[in-house]
Amino acid sequence: QVQLVESGGGLVQAGGSLRLSCAVSGRIFSINDMAWYRQAPEKQRELVASITSGGSPNYVDSVKGRFTISRDNAKNTVYLQMNSLKAEDTAVYYCYAKVAKFRGIYYPDSWGQGTQVTVSS
């Protein structure tokens, strides 16, 4: 009933930039929190950035000052602008959304398929 489609991943040199997008579609009453996670090989999935329905962001310390999370509620889309990329940012990035089908009634946590970000060193 809910689908998250990610785009924007790819290969970039250290110091470069990428912008990830994640569009939510389906039967949507509202979307609460949205977030970006990442997972490197043999590592646990890590919360990178989150944003509330009102637009208040939070970031993991390692990306503060370099990444910016934003959302367009009219388009049901969340973005992650990644600047000054480092080799350590290489991972599969996953979009997350908490979606309500009606007031107070939520779908199970929704995830995108993941998009590969590779930063060459």
Phi, psi of 2 (to 5 degrees): -130, 135
- For residue range 50-104, list pLDDT tens digits in order: 999 999 999 999 999 999 999 999 999 999 999 999 999 999 999 999 999 999 9
The CA distance from 117 to 115, in Å, is: 7
The helix (H) or strand (E) run that includes residue 41 is none
**In this model, does residue 36 exceed pLDDT 90?**
yes
Instruction: Note the pLDDT of residue 25.
Output: 96
